[in-house]
Structure 1
Amino acid sequence: MFGDLMGMMGKLKETQEKVKATKERLNHVIIEEKSSDGLVNITLTANRTLKSIELDDSLLKDKDQLEDYLILTLNKAIEKATQINEAELAAVAKEGMPNIRGMDGLFK
């Protein structure tokens, strides 16, 4: 019984280290999102850290249009980054979970 508990504790520590390493690696996974017409280009990491915003000069003439472009493009970029982030972390968490009946569906 205690051997199982010690093994689970070791596995938990190993999983925590893998999660930390995965989060660090996701700082270097770059997501680029462009508006449909290419007037706005957003770059961020899979940890959702904004790296750059590139705007076409034509957008600088209309504040409302620029704001709309930024909101739409940023939201798409953040959604992509979130999907990658969650998938990577879920894979690490699932790998580190002990085989407990009924828990299989939690990390798919």
Structure 2
Amino acid sequence: MSVPQLFALTCVEIVGDFGLKEYANNGGTTSLATGILGYVGVVIMLIVSLQDSTILLVNNGWDAMSTLTESIAAYVFLGERFTNYNQYIGILFIMVGMYLLKIPWKKNHPFHIPKL
């Protein structure tokens, strides 16, 4: 697992989340399809990230990366805001936690397709 892989995993999750949010609020087959395809991408990227890594590291890194990236996307693209300044401090703590996980920038082993 590496930081770029976690970022890619988070990006496809954002596509799924935004598509399903649109579907939940306004309906539409395009939004539903976008959400489902986003989560198919999540499954693929999760398999890639879990190779030669641990669930403990992947899950914590993904949670942190997802929180940071989706918070920025929701702030910028959807105009969403927190209601209390302490919530922004919580985001800062997540950034510190991500740093402390010491996730590498490059994966040590190349991806291989698992056998069925």
Mark yes or no: TM-score above 0.5.
no
Rg larger in structure: 1
Structure number having the greater helix percentage: 2
Q: Give the TM-score category using the shorter length.
A: 0.3 to 0.5
The structure, 1 or 2, with the larger RCO (C-alpha pairs under 8 Å, 6+ apart) is 2
If the length of structure 1 is used for normalisation, what is the TM-score?
A: 0.33
